[in-house]
Amino acid sequence: MGGGAEKRRYIRVTITSIADMTLVKEKKNFRAYVGGISRGGMEIYTQEVLHTGDAINIRLRFIDVSGKEAMEEIQGKIKWTNQFSNAHVAGLEFAEVITEENYPALLTYLEQAEKFFSK
């Protein structure tokens, strides 16, 4: 598996989320399940074959800290990919780190989850 923890700069946490993705060059849309997320990227599971370096647009739908559905649109690229059974698992790196200024709802979620996971 690529993208080991030793290279990770931010705590990865679980999130209840489905992402609607678009491969930028191919203009191809697909759906993915999010396995984990950090301030710098996320891991997804999908039926779509992905390639390292592909630019991707992400519409991330998740349950925020108040229990409501939230959505953030994020740009990124594929950092690594592997086949997993009949699906594909991939690591995505966001074009910019999640902050209060660019993705406030997602940052609030991450801050709460990081407290839980760092115990």
pLDDT of residue 4: 46
Task: Give the integer Cα–Cα distance in Å for 111 and 74.
Answer: 18
Name every residue whose Cβ is closer than 8 Å to that of residue 53 and which is 6 or more positions away in sequence: 77, 78
Domains of the chain with bracketed CATH: 8-117 (2.40.10.220)
pLDDT of residue 77: 98
Output the 3-class SS for 23-89.
Answer: ECCCCEEEEEEEEEECCCEEEEEECCCCCCCCEEEEEEEEECCCCCEEEEEEEEEEEEEEEECCEEE
pLDDT of residue 3: 46
Residue 5 clears pLDDT 60, i.e. is over it: no
pLDDT one-digit tens code per residue, 10-43: 888 988 899 999 999 999 999 999 999 999 999 9
Q: Which two tokens stand for residue 62?
A: 């998740």
pLDDT of residue 19: 95
pLDDT one-digit tens code per residue, 40-54: 999 999 999 999 999
Average pLDDT, the chain: 89
- Binned at pLDDT 50, 70 and 90, residue 79 comes out as very high
- Binned at pLDDT 50, 70 and 90, residue 1 comes out as very low
Which amino acid is present at 77? K
User: 43, 90 in Cβ contact below 8 A?
Assistant: yes
